[in-house]
A and B are shown apart, each in its own frame.
Chain A
Amino acid sequence: MKRYSAFSIFREALRNNSGWQRAWAAPEPKAQYDIVIVGAGGHGLATAYYLARNHGIANVAVLEKGWLGGGNTGRNTTVIRSNYLQDPSAAIYEKSRSLYETLSQDLNMNIMFSPRGVMMLAQTEHEVRGYKRTAQANALQGVATEFIPPARVRELCPIIRIDGPRYPVLGALWQPRAGTARHDAVAWGYARACSAMGIDIIERCEVTAIRSNAGQVAGVETTRGAISCGKLALVVAGHSGHLAEMAGFRLPIESVALQALVSEPIKPCLDVVVMANTVHGYMSQSDKGEMVIGGGADGYNNYTQRGSFHHVEETVRSLIETFPMLSRLKMLRQWGGIVDMTGDRSPILSKTPLGGCYVNCGWGTGGFKAIPGSGWAMAELLAKGHSPLAEAFGLDRFREGRFIDESVAAGVAH
């Protein structure tokens, strides 16, 4: 891997940018790997990366049916925060957030982690109490957050209307080191670093069947031939139900469309990420200047990667109440992704009824922020059979009723 730097850009510019190498290789699949990971989204790629980096396991393939990062990793609104309420969530999201802090340096690619701060508005007394509690919990979890009054909200975000007629802003939960990153670059950066460590990333390679032997996974059938493996990790977000079916078990996952939209670009006017959970909307401004807007998930199950207009309408309407300036901006593009929702809205990192087969899914509407931490924990789980960060997220919890419910603190969990 040739290193990226200001110098490399300078050198290449002088020779018409003709010397750049492929960011990641495009190998033919081998017949056998120690570990096969299905799904080259952020979570699959990060799992592979930490397998090689933390555990020295590089005889690994990541199989992707389309183009890498083309699932939810390349469709999300990139909010990164760790101000979760429950201990297991705060642990894995904060691990993840802290890995994001140095990810550009670790991967030698600028993934543009921008810790510009995330504020979650409290617009009812109930939310005020909920966020005060979260701030208390976060203090004990080692997550730096605070509950701030309306005046400070306005100072951090001048375009907000504090005293809206319907839902005045009563305060906010503020996490100063939360923020955003460039989603594609996260996928590309991990892919490039994986490739440099000898991991095979194989695009346009769809897994069509899972082979097993006496309750133990043996390999996969793909559109590019059969591949055998010692261990198998299913990391396919909205398609987890399909893959589980191939492996012979069922998952407590529902797949629904979640939408987002962007405005036309304008000069900087919003330097923080704002989430308004009472009205189901959140917004940030990208480095290109677009207002990036998201809301709640569609109310019905769906695989089409496109959503209805009705949710967009609700989200925009709500945000205009709190940000009146939005009204005269224009929506440039709307899109959708299929998110994998569990009953308690928390992820699954777990072994499965099939020996040697593991799943990582259920990140739902909020797993971009978790990519490094989830990859870290999943790699540990695959390499060692257990991981403290993954401990609470096993499949058993649904049978035991040991839910990790975050909807307590916030209706939406992006």
Chain B
Amino acid sequence: MSHRLPSGGRLIDRATTLGFTFNGRRLKGYGGDTLASALLGNDRMLVGRSFKYHRPRGIVASGPEEPNALVGLGQGARFEPNQRATTTDLFADLVAQSQNHWPSLDFDIGALNGLMSRFLSAGFYYKTFIHPRAFWKHLFEPTIRHSAGLGRPTSEPDADRYEHLYAFADVLVIGGGIAGLQAARTAAESGARVMIWEQSAHWGGRAPVDDPDVEGMPPDDWISATLHWLRAQPNVTLRSRTMGAGVYDHGYALGYERVTDHLPGLDAPRHRLWRVRAGRIITATGAIERPLSFAGNDVPGVMLAGAVRDYVVNFGVAPGRRTVIVTNNDDAYRTAITLHSAGLEVAAVIDARARATGDLPQRARSLGIRVMTGRAIARVRGGGRVTGVDICQHTGTGAAGALIACDAVAMSGGWSPVVHLWSHCGGKLIWDAGAALFRPDPARAPTGADGAAFVAAAGAANGVMRGAALLADARAAAAGGDAPAPEPEAITPVWIMPAAAGPGLRAKMWLDFQNDVKVSDVQQAAREGYVSVEHAKRYTTLGMATDQGKLGNINGLAVLSDAQGAPIPDVGTTTFRPPYTPISMGAIAGEARGDVFQPLRRTPMHDWHAAHGADWEPAGQWRRPYCYLRPGEARNDAVAREILAVRGGVGLIDASTLGKIIVKGPDAGRFLDMLYTNMMSNLAPGKCRYGLMCSENGFLIDDGVVARIDEDTWLCHTTTGGADRIHAHMEDWLQCEWFDWRVYTANVTEQFAQIAVAGPKARDLLQALGGLDVSSGALPFMSWAGGRLAGIPLRAYRISFSGELSYELATPAGHGLALWRALVDAGQDLGVIAYGTEAMHVMRAEKGFIMIGDETDGTVIPQDLGLGWAISRKKADYIGKRAQERAHMTDPDRWKLVGLQTLDGSVLPEGAYAVTDARNANGQVVTEGRVTSTCHSPTFDRGIAMGLVRHGPDRMGEVLRFNRVDGTTVEARIVDPCLYDPKGGRQDV
């Protein structure tokens, strides 16, 4: 029976009673409890089921290394699966549910797997379910998926919020035990900016449980004195409930602060992710106790010896009334002494060593505790709960001797330093055979850009477990210099118990409690050649559970090395990956979610569009009106109406999203000549020119009109999606190649609102506003002028993308809406309308203008698109020129731009290919062209399309067959791409 002791518990407040619910039952705990201690206090040892065999699982540990006590926590939009009970602080009305069982925790059908366990040995699924083929997907896999998987998925959107905090530190100390506190103090004394993180709610770590004194003081006094000093320092930041999650290159570290997990309902972020750049990082992350591998070590009631005394000392909870302690070292005797002084019965200490003569064993003996050396546990009795242990000789095969009745077993196989954070960024380890542990190798620490080590380990994390040596080690880690060698640990490695156990027992010794990996599995893996530690891990799944092998990995490694007859360090460890313990996805994402995830960019006229029926289309970070729907109007009808209105009168489109990049400086002309395929340096101020930009590989990447503003300033228009990309492209070339050219660029896209006014009545509309002279004499096609219209300052560019008389008006963003309104008002008599992107697309297709992203796809060069006229032959070079001279680029067989018209007037399917009857060597249909843009043209009242066709321009009038998704084809004739006003008279009036 686990139960609450009548007194004691340094962390709990017996005056505060907290009610909570576990599996629907109301239970009581105290303030300061963890969910695990509260469950134990209520005699709830059985808390879950294992992954593979659905074996009953009890609480094993008291900290983040816990593999078994995983629960579903909370409800609805605040439900979270796989929450560790040992690191969950109890709060009033907490609701928890155990996992991975059906129909109930106590009776789980899945436990039948356990009866079959000998047939479900390591990697069995690789060797079966092979025939018949279809069964894997339809029968075997779904079954396996269902029985695995632990917690239930969340279903509702998260009701909590999260935040990121950025900080710098000269020294970041991870771990707030006495080594961490001392390291922080030493670092702070030197004047450094220090930050220290502790994953739990309490400072001081294990010392108050394990050590009689620290520097002559009771541990709790030493801790509060040190904390008091640290809190008073302006250069020290302390964060508890903050776990060091990962260490990355260049001193970058992540801290995971659980702000309101224990205070639900508080209006604050649930988790806070600290993103810290640190000069040096000290990992004072302590050590984790190892289980021992004996048969039945997974039965609920078998716990780590250190955890047992944690529960007694910290929470006043006893895991059992009569406990057997089993060990290979002196440390576990502390548990015996602790239990004894709490008035609990210690049935025996089973010590695998031939002799136990240290201080602790002697003290235990002097208290009258029975110590049995050279002995081992042959097997644990009991199913859902320990009822006793069979004792045997450790050196033998496990022939059972005496039976000792007990309801708890406290085991200790020694302690392993927590080296995860040391290792994340490449720190290496050395095997200390005497102490039977891996410790950080100071000669092979993670190094920064300067080649110097930026991580140091301190205290137990460095293999220095306690006493004066530990504090000295912490000071040395913080201040540099050498620490005196620690006292050797009194330990004899024991990797399986008893040492000569046969196969029957080895198949009952658990290495990984959650994933159900046993000693026999690792031995079998070795027999099958999975001898590399990574192979063995992946084949058996050892260490791949949610505790990532914190308990089982070293034991498994030792079994593997034994099976190969190779020393442990030759086998090596698996790689330690961030995070140290799992962190929420919510914390990783931070604040940027919902509306502020890639915030929507709005033009100054956005709200006007919304109020006038805009049917939005995402365009990069923007939304643009696809069309403006009138009540009851269908999309297609709206588009047709808009086009006819522009072609017959005048329309407005919000073109503010077009990229606008200022390029300025004495070398700007020269730079633009390299950037564009045509000449820009000789463009006269006041003039505009259409330009093409190619990648280094010759492919067309963007197009737009360039206006020369003055002697050394050009304004480059890019496509809507292209602004940031092209700006980066410019900077890339300026910073990496032509860093000595005097050119400056600025992306002013959002500084201007831009409105295209298009249609035969465009000039009438502008003249109605009054101001700037927009006559063809004053402002001819492909020129621009600055001035005012309706009193609003602007530049007017005479450029056209619709084939109509057209002006683009650019005004400082703050005037955008006013200008738009002025145009709408002044245009009432002219029948002005607003038109959307689709009308623009159709009009440009009617005109045969290409569109980046439709006619181009990263494989098309300007020459393919009949844009040879926009490529200067005079220039010695431009980006992409050399590439365009390569054999394949000049191949006459390249597909070239044409117009396409179905014989029946229908709209060609999007993305359709022109098919032939031939097949290539791989059996694919040989194609000779494809559709790049296709739409219904209201102007011509038929389907029109553009496409790329092999020798296309030479094949006018020929009929091709295009495929449809249903397997049929449709015939279309090759025509000129420009259908509308081929002579250009309408735009140049």
Contacts and interface: CB of A to CB of B under 8 A. Distances in A.
Interface of A: 4-6, 8-10, 12-13, 16-18, 20-26, 66-67, 69-70, 74, 87-88, 90-91, 95, 101-102, 104-105, 108-116, 123-126, 129-130, 132-137, 139-142, 146-147, 159, 165-168, 182, 184-185, 188-189, 203, 263-269, 285, 287-289, 304, 306, 308-309, 312-313, 316-318, 320-321, 324-335, 343, 388-389, 391, 397, 399-403, 405, 407-408
Contacts of A23: 528-530
Contacts of A95: 922
Given A5-B127, A70-B534, A188-B126, A137 B913 contact: yes
A136 B908 CA distance: 12
Interface stretch (B216-224, B291-299, B408-416, B577-585): B577-585
Nearest to B155: A325
Contact of B583 (A26, A266, A330): A330
Given A159-B155, A267-B149, 9 more contacts: A5-B127, A24-B529, A67-B534, A104-B136, A147-B965, A289-B145, A289-B149, A306-B426, A313-B588
A407 B544 CA distance: 35
A263 B78 CA distance: 18
9 closest Cβ pairs, A-B complex? A133-B911, A289-B149, A330-B582, A401-B886, A4-B127, A22-B529, A67-B532, A327-B158, A16-B503
Contacts of B150: 264-267, 289
B91 to A, nearest CB: 17
B507 A16 contact: yes
A102 B915 contact: no
Contacts of A139: 963, 965, 967
A313 B582 contact: no
Contact of A135 (B579, B597, B965): B965
Given A139-B965, A287-B148, A328 B585 contact: yes
A312 B854 CA distance: 32
B548 A333 contact: yes
Interface stretch (B457-465, B492-500, B923-931): B923-931
A407 B579 CA distance: 32
B910 interface: yes
B546 A401 contact: no
Nearest to A268: B145
Interface in B718-771: 721
B889 interface: yes
B81 A329 contact: yes
B443 interface: no
Contact of A405 (B158, B539, B575, B859): B859
B126 A332 contact: no
Q: Indicate the member of A110, A308, A405 with the most B CB atoms within 10 Å.
A: A110
B626 to A, nearest CB: 8
Contacts of B524: 17, 20
Given A67-B535, A114-B141, A166-B600, A389 B586 contact: no
A166 B598 contact: yes
Interface of B: 51, 78-82, 118-119, 121-122, 124-131, 133, 136-137, 141-142, 144-146, 148-158, 160, 246, 248-249, 252, 254, 275, 424-426, 503-504, 507, 520, 524, 527-530, 532, 534-535, 538-539, 541, 544, 546, 548, 575, 577-579, 582-586, 588-590, 592-595, 597-598, 600, 617-619, 626, 697-698, 721, 853-854, 857-859, 883, 886-889, 909-913, 915, 920-925, 927, 930, 963, 965, 967
Contacts of B79: 328
B858 A408 contact: yes
Contacts of B577: 333-335
A408 to B, nearest CB: 4
Given A329-B154, A408-B858, A265 B600 contact: no
Nearest to A25: B529
Contact of A330 (B584, B618, B888): B584
A288 B920 CA distance: 42
A267 B152 contact: yes
Contact of A325 (B157, B426, B619): B157
B859 A317 contact: no
A267 B252 contact: no
A140 B589 contact: no
Nearest to A167: B618
Contacts of A324: 157-158
B943 to A, nearest CB: 16
Nearest to B582: A330
A76 B575 CA distance: 16
Contact of B586 (A8, A67, A110, A327): A327
B154 A328 contact: yes
B133 A312 contact: no
Contact of B126 (A4, A116, A165, A285): A4
B617 A263 contact: no
A347 B617 CA distance: 36
Contacts of B595: 165
Contacts of B858: 405, 407-408
A169 to B, nearest CB: 11
25 contacts: A13-B121, A16-B118, A17-B121, A17-B527, A20-B524, A20-B528, A22-B529, A69-B535, A91-B923, A123-B618, A124-B618, A129-B910, A129-B911, A130-B911, A140-B925, A188-B126, A267-B151, A289-B148, A313-B589, A324-B157, A325-B157, A327-B157, A328-B158, A332-B582, A334-B579
Given A20-B524, A125-B617, A266-B153, A334 B930 contact: no
A402 B888 contact: yes
A208 B697 CA distance: 34
B887 A136 contact: no
Contacts of A16: 118, 503-504, 507, 520
B149 to A, nearest CB: 3
A263 B697 contact: no
Given A18-B503, A125-B618, A330-B585, A5 B128 contact: yes
Nearest to B966: A139
Contacts of B575: 335
Most B Cβ at <10 Å: residue of A116, A146, A269: A269
Contacts of A113: 136
B141 A331 contact: no
Given A9-B119, A313-B590, A403-B697, A91 B922 contact: yes
B136 A110 contact: yes
A343 B586 contact: no
Contacts of A265: 51, 82, 148-151, 546
Contacts of B121: 9, 12-13, 17
Contacts of A320: 585-586, 589, 593, 597
A24 B524 CA distance: 14
Contacts of A321: 593, 597
A112 B136 contact: yes
Contacts of A306: 248-249, 424-426
A102 to B, nearest CB: 7
Contacts of A400: 886-888
A136 B534 contact: no
A13 B118 contact: yes
Contacts of A407: 858
Given A16-B504, A321-B597, A5 B146 contact: no
A142 B130 contact: no
A137 B911 contact: yes
Contacts of A87: 920, 922, 924
Contact of A140 (B130, B532, B593, B915): B915
Contacts of B544: 288
Nearest to A408: B857
Contact of A266 (B125, B149, B252, B592): B149
B580 to A, nearest CB: 11
B931 to A, nearest CB: 8
A137 B311 CA distance: 65
B538 A110 contact: no
Given A136-B909, A320-B586, A407-B858, A90 B924 contact: yes
Contacts of A268: 142, 145-146, 149
